[in-house]
Amino acid sequence: KHTLTIIDCHIKALLYALRALSGSLSIKLSVENELSNEPLKSYSSSVVEGGVLLGALRRLHDAQHDFKFTVKEDPNFGLFLESVNGVAGNKDEKTYWEILSESSGEFNRLDVGIGCYMPKADEHIVLRYTTWSPQQ
């Protein structure tokens, strides 16, 4: 069993290295706030092929002084996007950052978070500050 675990680790490391060699994918990122009059902000970033959205956000954060974000880790559900450009979600005000993928004018909510979602080449990701309604 120990040998199998070591082999699994080596295989995962090899796959990661192959993905890194295969290059990066460009993505478009938009930040919009439904609750304010702030103009839409658009950015470009990239992610290693097979990499997750968190990597693209970190790359953008390092490259653009006007893009900032924070995440919060939930032990059961993983990483949550907590704030973007200084605006944080608030439980009492029922606000949060919704993460969408836009294609041909159609917006779809991601079914996983930034720590799991793997963007596609030239994908348009939208970070939308909005409110939620309590479930009835």
In a domain, 46, yes or no: yes
Q: Please give the residue range of the domain that contains residue 62.
A: 23-131
Query: What does the chain come to in residues?
Result: 136
In a domain, 3, yes or no: no
Q: Is residue 71 pLDDT above 70, yes or no?
A: yes
Instruction: Pull the structure tokens for residue 117.
Output: 């979602």
In a domain, 118, yes or no: yes
What CA–CA distances, in Å, run from 129 to 12, 35, 51? 36, 7, 24
- Give SS3 for 65: coil
User: How many Cβ atoms sit within 10 Å of the Cβ of residue 123?
Assistant: 19
Q: Is residue 19 pLDDT above 80, yes or no?
A: no
Q: Is residue 34 pLDDT above 70, yes or no?
A: yes
Report the CATH number at residue 86: 2.170.130.30
Q: Is residue 64 pLDDT above 90, yes or no?
A: yes
Q: Is residue 12 pLDDT above 90, yes or no?
A: no
pLDDT at 63: 95
Q: Each residue of 97-116: pLDDT tens digit?
A: 999 999 999 999 999 999 99
Q: Is residue 2 pLDDT above 50, yes or no?
A: no
In a domain, 39, yes or no: yes
Question: 87-96 long-range contacts, Cβ below 8 Å, gap at least 24?
Answer: 87/33, 87/129, 89/129, 93/131, 94/131, 94/132, 94/133, 94/134, 95/35, 95/129, 95/130, 95/131, 95/132, 96/129, 96/130, 96/131, 96/132
Looking at the 3D structure of the chain, how many domains does it have? 1
pLDDT band for position 42 (50/70/90)? very high
Specify the pairing of strand 124-131 against strand 95-103: antiparallel
In a domain, 136, yes or no: no
Alpha carbon distance, N-terminus to C-terminus of the chain: 48
In a domain, 112, yes or no: yes
In a domain, 45, yes or no: yes
**Range from 2-16, 33-47, 60-74, 107-121 carrying the lowest mean pLDDT:** 2-16
In a domain, 103, yes or no: yes
pLDDT band for position 136 (50/70/90)? very low
